[in-house]
Structure 1
């Protein structure tokens, strides 16, 4: 019988956009390990090892560090649906599209959004954070560390101190930065942080690490205990607010990852293997060395782009180390350039969203792709495409500048 579809054979493309990036070969090999039962001692041992590895990646001593089965957004939703009660004031720092995503999820959870907005490409200064907390008296403040839509990273250390001063829980979405930029959960006073595998950690999308402080866990557990319909399953509908999700209920997931292993769901075994291997690779490299490698790749990428007389978007002081925005030259077709990069060189770069859609390209260098050969390959192809499209560039300048910026090995 002739098969309805051909055997799956996806192209081998160099993913130099804003994520996902190419998956580390060791992670792919780990995912080929056999599936075993979720309560098998080898399986629960793997869960414990994964939790310990992510404590090192997050730079935390938090006991409650685990995985959410789903992409990075699954962990965001788990955090917010478990922390927010209807009517709760939540300060949301918005520096780009993903701050707007946090707004949507907070609203869906019944929280009252107290937004602090800045123009895209800028960050929120600590004094504005303090003013918002004093004005709105929130129980929770949420923000994105690196918003890939604007290629901008929000400084966090002072915000954590302000939150602690006013007894406000501090949640950070570190999807785009964990493993590629300095991230200090404990030192910066972060109560809950979430991420994904598919960016700087060099894994596939589908598993989302999360870490929670003791004071965050205390609120999560107290809320679950007190809310009608959870404490008393026979309570009539409308008797009081309930946690809206079973799958994303962090209280249940904490118990699932505890020594008691209270069953909650069937663990995504192959994704657990991937998450463990991605974290092990990061820890073996060393977090400081890994951050330095991403910063070096960013410097080389920026140097190459500037050597082509292109404009780099954003402020040097707050630019992400793993995604660089490039202003589209006047008269250039941004979609055609992206298409030629993909069809002629098998390299993916991407556009942006909202007010930046069609105005910048975003070129990433993260995870296994934050290396000198991948940066030089991307710049060489980009230069060739732009020259072919009539953009005035000095041929060879980008690669030469990037090599010089990278420096001696």
Structure 2
């Protein structure tokens, strides 16, 4: 498939998913289901607004369609909690707007040589917009999880899991490459490629499961400050946390979860999800381990010791397929541990891509030689602060919006995202 056809296909895939997520009653679209999230209708029109700004106006040099709404859909002008009170486009108007923008974007794509400015080279601007729409699709999926009421979405279950030969693998000391300078659609915070040198360490072969995390809960982990940072335990007390978000226990002691409107027993063999950085850190300390650094996570995911190089993905350089990873809202839940043997890294680490975003111990900082592109507000303005890195994507992340170098970040208290973790430990003396 040539570049132009690939871009058309990925734009269509993203728009189909946006349509599925917003093909619901208008009252659901305009409601604010949580102060953490925008109304779904805001996300839909914001997708169109960003596409118009970058593809129609900038790359295409066309006249603005709706310049009067630019401010309404600028994510930096209005907090998520305040967007419900704005004079937003109605669902009908939003659908018509994004359709008109897409028609013009495809016309620009058909006529553009896909070379020229850095923004245009290799179709970067179009790839950026594909990723932007898919990222908002995952945000809208998280909003669906936060809404109250019966299920509005459906999907088949993931493939079955299998037992893995070991709970952790040894990663030898040495140099590896982190980040990329060659991935054409990589975002600014993934760049540039640089060499890192790490001591030896052990890392879990799979994310921590619900059954494993339940043991922490049942052992009184949420009541014992020994396992928590001072800030983390204070948050537990302030919020009254007793288990991952969306979990509840019946009178018989069985744990249930609410998943997109369905209440079901917590499946023990799936990666635990909807846990904050603080919860992940506390569990790791309870089992005598720690969270991996971002560099450790990426080395485990990408480093091929036999070839002496870093791959694009754990399994190699080819794009993800359904055999490699649980991505793209295909199953609406994480897959059981061991479900994707074809996605293993050369070191034998599995499910690094898809299923759940994985918290790392590292703060959100730029790589050496970082350069903001094409705008500061994507990455640079967030560096520092209390943000923590997440890696690998979730079942709600599309294949177009994740790779071995992709970096995500959020506040350490966040639990509405599809976040889990795996543990690591030092290998001193090995």
**TM-score, normalized by length of structure 1?**
0.24
TM-score (norm 2): 0.23
Higher relative helix content: 1
